[in-house]
Structures are given as structure tokens and as C-alpha cells.
Chain A
Amino acid sequence: MKILKILCVILLVYSVSAGILFDVPRLPILNETIRVLYFHVPMWFTMIFLLFLSSISAYKFISSGDLSYDLKSYNYANIGVFFGVLGVISGMIWAKYTWGTYWTNDPKLNGSAVGLLIYFSYFVLRNSVEDESKKGKISSVYNILAFSMLIPLIFILPRLTDSLHPGNGGNPGFNVYDLNSQLRIVFYPAVIGFILLGIWIADLRFRVLKLKNEL
């Protein structure tokens, strides 16, 4: 666990400094904002990873009935959605300076917004049930449903139509023409670094929740 935290610090320190200093492809419109790729996209990777862990924990709760899995599932969803919100905000600012507007009715953008709203209602649903085990069961089932809705909303539906967002529709993603080795040597460490940071924060928050439950 400790080695992962040290790795997280090293990778993020590296990706922040290399993300600003290293050469990037010179592209029209994007200009220097291509560096946002190193920080905006890892937010979504981290969100997906944490929400995946959340649905796994929800499944484990349903099959074992152990309430600590339910708490874990809730906690992962919480941190995952937090990263998702950071992803939306960073994406909106990036969009303002490249597409000219904060929000367009783009399938990728709306898909991610709907996906996040599904998770917001997860928290509402969860907090509206008083009984502990009933709360766990209902929210776990909903959690698995929410994750299986999120995947088509973010990864499948936007690819079926035209989209401004790279990686979808008729618009090739960064990896097709310019996620070259220049970008990769910063992008992948940043993704791993932010995922480790997400796990770290989730771990701390889980321990606080557990201590609070014991009181």
C-alpha cells in the first residue's frame, strides 16, 4: 500500500512537470491546450475505475451480505463521482477555448452528464432508506444498474453518431493521429498516478466512515 502511495506521488510530480515542459504536437485551434489531455482525461479514467470498484463491491455485498462491502461501494461511488465532476468542469473550460462554448449538445457530453445524474440519484436513493440492510440491498442493485448504464452512455452511444469530442463518431480520437509517443510518455503515467490518487483518497475516506460507524 505504501509503495503505491510513493508511486502515486512520483507519477503525479512527473506528469505535472513533464506535462508542462515536454514538447507536444503543434495543432491548430488546440495549441498549448493539448496539455489539458494529461489532466482532463485521467479524471475520467479514475472515475470509471473507482465506479467499477464500487459496482464490484456492490456485487460482493449482494452475494455475501457483509455491510462493510456496502460501505466500500458507497465510498468508491462517492470519490468516483467527485472525479467525474472534476472531469466535467475541466472539459467545459477546455471546450470554451477550443469549441467556443462551455457546453454543446454533444452525445459524449450529454452521455457523461446523464451518467453522473444517475449516480447523483444513487446517493439520493441511498440516503432515503433508513434500514441499514435494506439500504445496502437497494443501493447495491441500483449501483450495478448505474454502472452498466454508464458504459453505454459514455463509451458506446457517442461512438455511434457524430461527435465533436475526440474518439467518437466521425472524429478520430487522439490515439488515431496524434496520441504519439510524445503524448504517451506523459499521458499513461498521469492516468496511473491519478487512479492511485483516487484509490488513496477513497481508502482514507473509507477508514473515516468505518470509524464513524463504530462510534
Chain B
Amino acid sequence: MINCMVILFLLLQDIAMADVLRSEGKIYVVVLIFLIIISGLFLYLYRLEKKIDSIEKEK
């Protein structure tokens, strides 16, 4: 009887999980991937700009 109560308690309890990225059909995962890709592209542009800066200074 106590065992049953414990199991019921566990089932009714809201167990916290990392649900944020999984909610609403996992759309947040898509957003995260897009953001990673565009931040990679921006980083590339930034590095390229630094490189051009240094070449311009050498002149």
C-alpha cells in the first residue's frame, strides 16, 4: 500500500527536466542552430576585417 502511494506520488509530481529546447515541437533547436551558423558567419567577417586592417597598417 505504501509502495503504491509512493509510486503514485512520483507519477503526480512534476519532475523538472531540460524541456526548454524540446517544447513546442523542438523549434528552439532550429533557432539555436540558425543562431550558431550566423554567429559563425559574423565571426568570420570580423576576423577577415581584422586581417585586412593589419595588412592595411603594414602598408
Chain A positions near chain B (C-beta within 8 angstroms): 9, 12-13, 16-17, 20-21, 200-201, 204, 207-208, 211, 214
Contact = CB atoms under 8 A, between A and B. Distances in A.
Which 4 pairs from chain A and chain B are nearest by CB? A16-B34, A17-B31, A207-B52, A20-B31
Given A12-B38, A16-B35, A16-B38, A21 B27 contact: yes
Contacts of A13: 35, 38-39
9 contacts: A12-B42, A13-B38, A17-B31, A20-B31, A21-B31, A204-B48, A204-B52, A207-B56, A214-B59
Counting chain A CB atoms within 10 Å of each CB, the highest count among B28, B30, B45 belongs to B45
Interface of B: 27-28, 30-31, 34-35, 38-39, 42, 45, 48-49, 52, 55-56, 59
Nearest to A17: B31
Contacts of A17: 31, 34-35
Contacts of A16: 31, 34-35, 38
Contact of A201 (B35, B38, B45, B59): B45
Main secondary structure of the interface of A (DSSP, over half): helix
A119 B57 CA distance: 34
Contacts of A9: 42
Contact of B45 (A204, A207, A208): A204
Contacts of A207: 52, 56
Most A Cβ at <10 Å: residue of B27, B38, B56: B38
B28 to A, nearest CB: 8
Given A204-B49, A208-B52, A20 B27 contact: yes
A138 B27 CA distance: 51
Contacts of B39: 13
A211 B59 contact: yes
